Amino acid sequence: MSSNPQIEMNHTDMGTKSKHTISVLVDHNLNALSRILGMFNGRGFDIDTISFGEGQQPGLARITITTHGDSQIVEQIIKQLHNVIDVIKVRDLSFEPFVERELALIKVSAHPSRRSEIMQIVNVFRAKIIDMSPDKLTIEVTGNNDKITAALGMLRQFGLVEVARTGTVALRREFTGDT
């Protein structure tokens, strides 16, 4: 257990229900993830997406959680995360510049007569075709949640066969253009 967890949050959204992206640095073990999921479940907090992965330092992992709620709910989430064993640092990225990405693998029906239409959509979304068979294409799309949702919406007309979608991963933006 870490001895000095840090909480960083800005309280500018009083009373407004909004999306929040929370970055949590933890000791790298599945018990940390399990405890965080248990905390959300036990207190009735919503998780929109969650991603867990090895961090830049050996023995640490970063968990990115997207959730929604008013400032009181998010403040409670942050405080409760602070109390979870193995949590080192909690940061609500929502009120500062940050970069976020999500990945989706989308398998669509692709009759040869419609492939060029699908490829045009793939190009518009700067996606990639990563696998193909005589009657299907698998497409990789990366971007923010809205981009992934829009790509899915455009590809739905061809017949979605399978969709695998990650949660959001995010980091605080270092360069903001200010001098």
Q: What is the CATH number of the domain that holds 77?
A: 3.30.70.260
Last residue of a domain, one of 73, 96, 119: 96
Q: Residue 1: inside a domain, yes or no?
A: no
> Do 69 and 121 fall within a single domain?
no
Characterize the bridge pairing of strands 87-92 and 6-8.
parallel
Characterize the bridge pairing of strands 128-132 and 136-143.
antiparallel
Q: Give 86's Cβ-side CA count (13 Å radius).
A: 16
pLDDT tens digits for range 104-155: 999 999 999 999 999 999 999 999 999 999 999 999 999 999 999 999 999 9
Last residue of a domain, one of 76, 96, 116: 96
Are residues 156 and 104 in contact, defined by beta-carbon separation less than 8 angstroms?
A: no
> Do 45 and 88 fall within a single domain?
yes
CATH, residue 112: 3.30.70.1150
pLDDT given at position 15: 52
Confidence label for 30 from pLDDT (cuts 50, 70 and 90): confident
> Do 71 and 10 fall within a single domain?
yes
Distances (CA, A) of 102 to 64, 86, 178: 11, 25, 27
> Do 112 and 160 fall within a single domain?
yes
Structure tokens of 56?
A: 């830049």
pLDDT tens digits for range 96-105: 999 999 999 9
Are residues 31 and 86 in contact, defined by beta-carbon separation less than 8 angstroms?
A: yes
> Do 139 and 64 fall within a single domain?
no
> Do 12 and 45 fall within a single domain?
yes
Q: Residue 77: inside a domain, yes or no?
A: yes
Q: Residue 178: inside a domain, yes or no?
A: no
Sheet with 49-54: list strands edge to edge: 6-8, 87-92, 18-27, 60-69, 49-54
Helix%, strand%, coil% for the chain, nearest 5: 30, 40, 30
Mean pLDDT of 75-79: 95
Amino acid letter, 96: E
Range of the domain at 103: 99-172
pLDDT given at position 1: 39
> Do 81 and 104 fall within a single domain?
no
Question: In the chain, how many domains are there?
Answer: 2
Longest dimension (CA), the chain: 62
Q: Give 77's Cβ-side CA count (13 Å radius).
A: 28
Last residue of a domain, one of 96, 124, 146: 96
Higher pLDDT, 175 or 14: 175
